[in-house]
Amino acid sequence: MTQNTRTADAGESITVKVAVDLVASKSSELREELRQLVASGRRSIVLDFSSVRMVDSSGLGMIIAAHNSLRKVEGELVVTNCSTDILELFRSMRIHQHMTVEGVNASSGLPVK
Partner 1 sequence: MMTEELRASILANQDGVEAFCWKFQQWLGADINSRDAFAAELLLREALVNGVEHGCHGGDGHEVLCVVRGGKGRIFVFVKDPGAGFDWKNLWNFEVGGDACSGRGIQIYKTYGTQVRFNRAGNSVFIKLKLKQKMERN
Least Cβ distance, residue 102 to partner 1 (angstroms): 18
- Mark the segment that binds partner 1 (CB under 8 A) among 4-12, 32-40, 43-51, 78-86: 78-86
Phi, psi of 77, deg, nearest 5: -115, 130
> Mind giving me the DSSP string for 42-93?
--EEEEE-TT---B-HHHHHHHHHHHHHHHHTT-EEEEEEE-HHHHHHHHHT
How far the first Cα of the chain sits from its last, in Å, is 31
8 binds partner 1 per the rule CB under 8 A: no
56 binds partner 1 per the rule CB under 8 A: yes
9 vs 88, beta carbon nearer partner 1: 88
Residues that bind partner 1 (CB under 8 A): 23-25, 54, 56-58, 60-62, 64-65, 67-68, 83-85, 88-89, 92-95, 97-98
